[in-house]
């Protein structure tokens, strides 16, 4: 089967990934700034979790390279990412 062309929904996917990372970064920023007014450890832990989400989302978005052109290369990147996260 010949490789498929770059999907038309790819730009939408990238835009939504950036939006998700932006929202996660905003949640972190709000939880970090509100510590000046009221100390809440749970909110700070949740904010730190969301900064992790934002970093993973941005890493996923920036490493996105035409997955339908070479599916094996896309899976190699995923396995390297999981190897990095586990170790």
pLDDT of residue 62: 81
Note whether residue 2 is domain-resident. no
Is pLDDT of 10 > 90? no
Give the Cα separation of 34 and 30 in Å (integer): 6
The reply to whether 26 falls in a domain is yes
Q: What pLDDT does residue 55 have?
A: 92
Which residue range is the domain that position 55 belongs to?
Answer: 10-86
Whether 59 and 21 have beta carbons less than 8 Å apart is answered as no
- Report the pLDDT value the prediction gives residue 61, as an integer from 0 to 100: 83
pLDDT given at position 78: 55
List the alpha helices (DSSP H) in the chain.
10-33, 41-62, 71-86
How many separate domains does the chain show? Answer: 1
Which pTM was predicted? 0.65
What confidence category does residue 6 fall into, taking pLDDT thresholds of 50, 70 and 90?
low
In a domain, 79, yes or no: yes
Of residues 62 and 23, more confidence is placed in 23
55 inside domain: yes
pLDDT at 83: 47
Residue 68: inside a domain, yes or no? Answer: yes
- pLDDT for position 87: 44
């Amino acid at each position: 089967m010949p490789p498929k062309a770059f999907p038309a929904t790819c730009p939408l996917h990238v835009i939504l990934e950036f939006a998700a990372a932006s929202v996660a970064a905003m949640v972190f920023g709000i939880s970090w700034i509100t510590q000046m007014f009221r100390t809440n450890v749970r909110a700070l832990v949740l904010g730190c979790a969301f900064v992790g989400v934002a970093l993973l989302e941005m890493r996923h978005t920036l490493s996105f390279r035409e997955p339908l052109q070479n599916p094996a290369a896309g899976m190699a990147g995923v396995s390297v990412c999981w190897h990095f996260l586990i170790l």
